[in-house]
Structure 1
Amino acid sequence: MSEIPSDLRFTESHEWVSQEEEGVVKVGISDHAQEQLGDLVFVELPDEGATFGKGDACAVVESVKAASDIYAPVSGEIIDVNEALADTPEILNNDAYGDGWLFSIRLDNAGELDELMDADAYREHVAED
């Protein structure tokens, strides 16, 4: 079974969210998602300064099998992106919860974090997949 850290929150579409500082979260894709996608070969990240609503498609990851949209788990402004993924997208396969983060968002509504799944709920969600 995939690794599911207990300190993260998750979406049904397999993004994870980590509270970084007051009002800012880091976002990536879960270990389960990268396993399902296979070897990643390309990542298209959002532009810094772009704003997205919760659930908006904001990035794309491509593997040897398929391309998959990444959705904003919360509303807000992109304040940082993981530039290393442009040259080495396989970081996502090797370290989905660490160096494989995608972007950081400054939250418009911190209450949206409460709508995300905790690790136990996500574990159940993955088991149903």
Structure 2
Amino acid sequence: MNVVKGLYYSEDHEWVKVEGNKAKLGVTDHAAHQLGDIVYLELPEVGAELSAGDVFGVIESVKAASDSYSPVSGVVTAVNEELADGPEAINSDPYESWIFEIELSDASELEGLMSAEAYEAFIAE
């Protein structure tokens, strides 16, 4: 499994890439492999306020449908509309296929997430 250094990771297999006071979020390579072929992705609404742990959408694959949880709090500032028409991009390039961007309301929440090394150990268990 591919784990990218410099990102934050959640136990729900989301990644967070921080850029100033905003962050892009997506699904890890591990999750994409576990899900199988992704066929549908429900995107959050721009302007939606999310708290850490809130469901932001649903990912459906040929195997299952599962809720996706935001690992950080804030306001959704952008969504990746390309994934609405081509959610399978997550399977081919999960770290470039960001799902949404959020303006962080509490950057200290990042401290509760895992580093790349910690996430690698987590998925190896």
Counterpart for residue 10 of structure 1:
9
What letter corresponds to residue 67 of structure 1 in structure 2?
A
Counterpart for residue 78 of structure 1:
76
Counterpart for residue 22 of structure 2:
24
Q: Which runs of 5+ in 2 are unaligned?
A: none
Report the Cα distance in structure 1 between the residues aligned to 2:69 and 2:5, rounded to whole angstroms. 21
Q: Which runs of 5+ in 1 are unaligned?
A: none
Report the Cα distance in structure 2 between the residues aligned to 1:122 and 1:40, rounded to whole angstroms. 22
| Count of matched residue pairs | 125
* 1:33-87, Cα deviation, whole Å (9 max, x unpaired): 0000000000000000000110111111100000111101100000000000111
What letter corresponds to residue 107 of structure 1 in structure 2?
L
Report the Cα distance in structure 2 between the residues aligned to 1:95 and 1:14, rounded to whole angstroms. 15
The equivalent position to 1:52 in structure 2, one of 50, 53, 68, is 50
Equivalent position SS for 1:78: strand
Equivalent position SS for 1:3: coil
- Report percent identity of matched pairs: 50
Report the Cα distance in structure 1 between the residues aligned to 2:18 and 2:82, rounded to whole angstroms. 21
Give TM-score scaled by structure 2 length: 0.98
Give TM-score scaled by structure 1 length: 0.95
Equivalent position SS for 2:25: strand
Counterpart for residue 121 of structure 1:
118
Where has structure 1 moved over 4 Å in runs of 4 or more?
A: none
